[in-house]
Amino acid sequence: MALPAHVRATAWVLFSLLCLPGTSQAQEDGVIPQEDCGLEPPGAVYVPLPGPRPHETRWLPSEPPLVRREDPAGSVSALSGMPQTRIRTGALSGKTIYLSPGHGFFRSSPLGRWATQRGNTNDVVEDLVSIETLNQYLLPMLTGAGATVIPVRESDLNPRMVILDNGGAGYSETGSGDLFTSATPGWGSPPVPMGNAVQPFLLGDTRLMTAASTATAQAAWTPSIPADGAYHVYVSYGADPGRVSDAHYVVRHAGGESHFRVNQRRHGGTWVLLGRFYFRAGLHPETASVLALNDSAEPGTLSLDAVRFGGGSGAIGDGALAPLPRPRFEECARYHTQFSGAPPSVFAPSGINALSNERNDDVSSRPRFAAWLHEEGEDAVYVAWHTNASGLSKPDDRFRGTEAYVYGPNPVDGTLNFTGVPGSDVLARALLDELRQDIRNAIDPNWRVRSLRSANLGEVNPAHNPETPAVLMELAYHDHPADAAHLKQPEFRRVAARAMLQGLIKYFAARDSQTAHLPPEPPTALVARNAGSGAVEVKWAKPSTDTLDLGGHEATGYRVYQSADGLAWDDGTERDSTTFSVTLAPGTTRYFRVASLNAGGESFPSDVVGVRVPEAGRGPEVLVVNAFRRLDAELARAEDLSAYGLGVPLRALLESMNDGTALRRHGEAVAQHAVAFDGATSEAISAGLLTPVGYRVLDWFIGRGRAGGQGPTAAEQALMRTFVMGGGHLLLSGSHVASALALGGSDERAFLTDILHALPGCGSSALLVNGLSEGWLPGLSNSMLDDGLRGSFPVGVTDVLLPLEGGSPVLGYAGTDSAAGVASAPGGQVLFLGVPFEGIVNPERRAWLMGAFLARAGVLAAPPVPPAGEEVLPPDAVARGPSSLAPCSVDRIPESYENAETGCGCRAGGGSASVAWLLLLSTVQLRRTRRRSLFTER
């Protein structure tokens, strides 16, 4: 029963106050307090929803989805959804998910600047963490399951953007002129900045191209790409019943060509995502362009409007406030929906000049955008992903965990009085059930998940979206330290996103009386090896499954992707076994990754492995092994957003953490010297898919260390020991290898002293390393390590090494007397780096360091020419500790260098050391003092 009006009004005021995290201090810090939790004020009046668009007709079950992939042979996957790298159909084929990451930057009239709608609590900003999670996890998971995904905020993290319009620069047409005509409306370049009321898809026109049974005409959009990188590619067109439902688009990218068929009868007048592709900077028509061909199985026309590459930065501003000078994915939906063609009744229902209400308009613009774009008969749901806050000054364990809301007339009072779109409550319970099971079993057995609730929240209000079931998920409380700690962890985000995916699959399967099929996990044990005469074999182990379906269902097939550089990938080749073979020319470098397939869809791709094919008469001499398994909040980058009143929150952007591609940097360095190599993940070695027998060099890298900074396992140490003592040459690198081994047992310490001839030392690390004149790397002068802003992951506070007898310092930290690398020869040559090799920013310097070691190992006849000059730290470099020597006590072995004030780590409490071990440390400390002059020469 609905509450009386006066009770509802009073309750709304009370619960609006409860939602305030704000204190006087928060206001002084410039953080906008939460005026509400997205509640609709009593008696709120908004402009009516836009009616059906002129082109709309009922979407029939026999009609194809919006976008589907076409393989190069020409067969179309008739029900596949909007892909990024995916081709196959899946459990969500034919379904549309309107996806809302909530909040985002908006123009604050009180502050006179751009501000987020939620502040920084525990280094978490809801406006940022939600969009990071959805864009990097949930959206690609959904597309991998075949869904068409319509995000209400920008989905590309790339801040660069190029838009080419029909008739403008970069656009061309080929074919008989009578096949082309013009129509209105269409995209037109808006003024800069773009004003509050501008509708860019009404500013221009669109070209029409007559379809034919075979391609007789085409249009091309050829951009000048501003910088190397991955870009989302979007197309736009004018929808109409006279358009073909299989408009043929071809994206030419650095990895090859990808073909699509688009149903141009649907979702016109906005941006439609084709996928994510890698492009090289500059003008390259063959590898950076989009084509539209007129071949179709139907009579009709194709609409040719604008094509967009990348997400870009803020575009909307007025005379008082310039556009947001940040990536556009950080903007709230109020501005994205306007940029995407929606009318003012969607993005500004309280009035286009009511800047003071843009924060409220953001809430309603999300569901209104879904209602505006959704078409009758389109099988869709609306899902919002948020994090919660109690607004209390002190943590309270009553306010933790996961909640879900559907619409009801009540405020946020913990009750359920559902009056929303039918099916919303069923959808919400399916998501809650899956989140409860998966988070408790994979993350925290005590994770709290509350029963379903209702509230008069604008985002799920049928007054804004009466067309689709809608649910708002509150994943965790960002103002509770324990919940916030989980929110910062990539694994929590991945598990929660996967649970949402599986909950959606189970919801639709139950509703449609179908069997639920869950996509599989990717392979982890993977190897690429030269098999002789140019043949390359890729092998992998079948990914494991569990009895709870946490990781999905069993893989029934695989898709092998190939790349010349580990960045730009082809469309893949499908296999039903766990092997793949290809013949390559001598001297070819090739990288591979493998995704798992089943009826549920396609997994994320595996880590990257690779090979370089040897010249005739030679075999591969180097084995590169990726043991970089760490992916946690310690790899996240702290970003200074104090200009927006946010302090320094953590940003968990996978491509600057550990995205599984690090092996390409090692492979590139080896290939620069025309040396052949094979590549594998450490799991492949453990699974017995490959052994290092027959290789002259083993390049084993651990990056930032495994979870918690762990070093190599006992089995891996034994393998490396056997390899070195048998005359093999070892390059071992990683930030925390020495400190992790020092904390181990007698075997670990023996490996550290007998094979690596080094100990973890005290002193300071730095972001610049150089070769020492006494060693054999003198040509490496001041080379920069990555701080998370230079294209790789932040190397963190790296190990300071103390050479033992038989070991020589060959690499040092600039401005200190601390060693970063130690060389020895207990059997074969060993180069032990206390820094990640792949963390060296400059590729020429990485290649030189690799070449110097290959020459030392006898693989090269002579060392390469050293790189010229020295590097200097840029002004925005993230410092990692003082550059002066810190006092060190040896009464405890260093436990971890994470968050240490110096590179020593000695202030961390570790286990008690043996007397012999302490004597060894003391002896080496004295030896180190005698070497100080060597470390400070540069």
CA distance 33 to 883: 40
pLDDT of residue 19: 44
Other C-beta atoms within 10 Å of 915: how many? 7
pLDDT of residue 87: 65
What would the pLDDT profile of 865-922 be if each residue is shown by its tens digit?
999 888 999 988 876 533 222 334 333 333 332 333 233 323 222 333 443 444 455 4
Q: At what angle do helices 490-511 and 126-133 cross, to 10 degrees?
A: 60
Other C-beta atoms within 10 Å of 769: how many? 31
Question: Which of 494, 513, 484 shows the shortest CA–CA distance to 442?
Answer: 494
pLDDT of residue 191: 94
Amino acid at 271: W
Exposure b/e, 166-189, CB count within 10 A at least 16 = b: bbeebbebebeeebbeeeebbbbe
What would the pLDDT profile of 714-740 be if each residue is shown by its tens digit?
999 999 999 999 999 999 999 989 999
CA distance 538 to 527: 6
**What is the band of 352 on the pLDDT scale with cuts at 50, 70, 90?**
confident
Question: Which of 418, 324, 318 shows the shortest CA–CA distance to 643?
Answer: 324
What would the pLDDT profile of 463-496 be if each residue is shown by its tens digit?
999 999 999 999 999 999 999 999 999 999 999 9
CA distance 789 to 411: 44
Task: Give mean pLDDT, residues 424-444.
Answer: 98
| Phi, psi (degrees; rounded to nearest 5) at 850 | -65, -45
Task: Give mean pLDDT, residues 352-358.
Answer: 74
pLDDT of residue 37: 67
Please identify which residue in the block is written with the tokens 């009035």.
351
User: What mean pLDDT is reported for the chain?
Assistant: 88
pLDDT of residue 381: 98
| Phi, psi (degrees; rounded to nearest 5) at 916 | -60, -40
pLDDT of residue 318: 81
pLDDT of residue 320: 80
Task: Give mean pLDDT, residues 144-149.
Answer: 93
Q: CA–CA distance from 595 to each of 555, 603, 918 (Å)?
A: 9, 5, 48
Other C-beta atoms within 10 Å of 791: how many? 13
DSSP state of 200: G
Task: Give mean pLDDT, residues 187-206.
Answer: 95
36 has a pLDDT exceeding 70: no
* Token duo for residue 209: 């191209």
Task: Give mean pLDDT, residues 310-326.
Answer: 92
Please identify which residue in the block is written with the tokens 């030269």.
530
Range in 32-46, 152-166, 170-184 with the lowest mean pLDDT: 32-46
Residues 6+ away with beta carbon under 8 Å from 931: 803, 809, 817
Coil vs helix vs strand at 901: coil
Describe the strand order of the beta sheet including 272-279 as a list of residue ranges.
162-164, 307-309, 229-235, 272-279
pLDDT of residue 617: 75
DSSP state of 179: G
DSSP string covering 587-601: T-EEEEEEEEEETTE
Task: Give mean pLDDT, residues 388-414.
Answer: 94
CA distance 780 to 853: 12
**Higher per-residue pLDDT: 6 or 116:** 116
| Phi, psi (degrees; rounded to nearest 5) at 454 | -125, 160
Other C-beta atoms within 10 Å of 422: how many? 9
Could you tell me how many residues make up the chain? Answer: 938
**Higher per-residue pLDDT: 920 or 126:** 126
* Token duo for residue 776: 């054999």
Amino acid at 324: L
CA distance 326 to 316: 12
785 and 798 Cβ atoms separated by less than 8 Å: yes
**What is the band of 75 on the pLDDT scale with cuts at 50, 70, 90?**
low
**Dihedral of alpha carbons 348, 351, 352, 356, sign:** negative
**What is the band of 705 on the pLDDT scale with cuts at 50, 70, 90?**
confident
pLDDT of residue 77: 55
Exposure b/e, 223-232, CB count within 10 A at least 16 = b: bebbeebbbb
What would the pLDDT profile of 614-672 be if each residue is shown by its tens digit?
997 788 999 999 999 999 999 998 999 999 999 999 999 999 999 999 999 999 999 99
CA distance 735 to 801: 11
CA distance 899 to 351: 49
Coil vs helix vs strand at 313: strand
556 has a pLDDT exceeding 80: yes
CA distance 57 to 62: 14
| Phi, psi (degrees; rounded to nearest 5) at 47 | -65, 155
